[in-house]
Structure 1
Amino acid sequence: MTAASPDGIVPDSKDWTWTLQRACPDCGFEAGTVPADDLAGLIVALTAPWAGVLAGDGAARRPDAATWSPLEYGCHVRDVCRLFDERTRLVLEEDDPTFANWDQDETAVAQGYGEQDPAVVAHEVDAAADAWSRTVADVPDDAWERPATRSNGSRFDLLGLVRYGLHDLAHHLQDVGAARR
């Protein structure tokens, strides 16, 4: 088991790439079956509930010391959208790029996720999702098989990369008890 970070959260060190091969038993999302034509719309649909989640009473309150608050999850979803937009663009611009490591737990501490304004974060989630969605909507049909590599050596094509990001969005709605639309 990995030790807790200074904020009490036990870092997630799992490799979630298996969610491209089968449904996630926790959230039920089947990332590997999403058609390319549905990706852009699902980015928006899977982030739409965050405005309501972040407007709720206690959005900044953790359910327990070792679990992120809805606000912290919202910040993470915003940053996932930003990161995957950047990575989508990188795959389109470079031949077989390798992505730098992104430590989500380190980012949460460094950016003070729990101290951010929920209303601002809700707006930022929408903006980041919209940007990534527009990037994905503009992917040419012949670019979905373009390859890339994560810092841990996991290989993706662009279709798999976007599907992988969608699972993250779906899964975190489950984490905060919000319904997927």
Structure 2
Amino acid sequence: MTESGNSAAIVPDVKDWTWVLERACPDCGLETPSVVREDVAGMIRANAASWVALLGADEAGVRRRPAPGVWSALEYACHVRDVFRLFRVRLGLMLEQDGPLFANWDQDATAVAERYGEQRPAVVAEELLAAGEALAEAFEAVAGEEQWRRTGSRSDGARFTVESFSRYLVHDPVHHLFDVTGVRHA
């Protein structure tokens, strides 16, 4: 059992979420196909600010899992922080290399190895905000149509342009904020 009382194992999410590039998410409400690439940086910043506010609430509350096998708000926040970091690296690879293949990332193994449920919410908030800002700045620095069309692929064969990658990325933190708050994207 962890310090936060979260002993239930998380069932790994094995879904292929690339479908969000084709239609709105029925859960969180984000219409990813309608996201304008130039808006992604602002969406990242707004999302990061929401996580910071959430993590500043009752520490015991953000550590508590709502149900066995469901991440706590703190665990989701750690995941979002790491998604921001990983996507910053992957965006850099897409802009610097021709068609890079991204190494596989096991988000569930990372959550266990990094002991997400035992991290300090205030520290996670600072790190998430910094990671979100770095990623937002990286997207703002994408210059010209040629850079937006550059490609990269995941190890499972999913292929992205920088533009589709930006829309795919923004769904993740928006969806996880919905997972924690139940508030659909407006």
TM-score (structure 2 length as normaliser): 0.91
Which residue of structure 2 aligns with residue 171 of structure 1? Answer: 175
Deviations 1:71-104, CA, capped at 9 Å, x for gaps: 0000000000001111111100000001000011
1:8 aligns with 2:14: no
Report percent identity of matched pairs: 53
Question: Which contiguous aligned blocks of 4+ residues in structure 1 show a shift greater than 2 angstroms?
Answer: 178-181
Deviations 1:9-55, CA, capped at 9 Å, x for gaps: 00000000000000000101011211121111111112211112112
Structure 1 unaligned blocks of 5 or more: 1-5
Task: Name which of 83, 86, 89 aligns with 2:89.
Answer: 86
Structure 2 unaligned blocks of 5 or more: 1-6
RMSD of equivalent CA atoms:
1.3
Question: How do 1:68-107 residues align onto structure 2 when only pairs under 5 Å count?
Answer: 68-107=71-110
Partner SS, residue 151 of structure 1: coil
C-alpha displacement of 1:7: 5.0
TM-score (structure 1 length as normaliser): 0.93
Which residue of structure 1 aligns with residue 157 of structure 2? Answer: 153
Letter of the structure 1 residue corresponding to residue 172 of structure 2: D
Alignment length, in residue pairs?
A: 176
Which residue of structure 1 aligns with residue 65 of structure 2? Answer: 62
Letter of the structure 2 residue corresponding to residue 138 of structure 1: A
Distance 1:11 1:164 in 2: 19
1:138 aligns with 2:141: yes
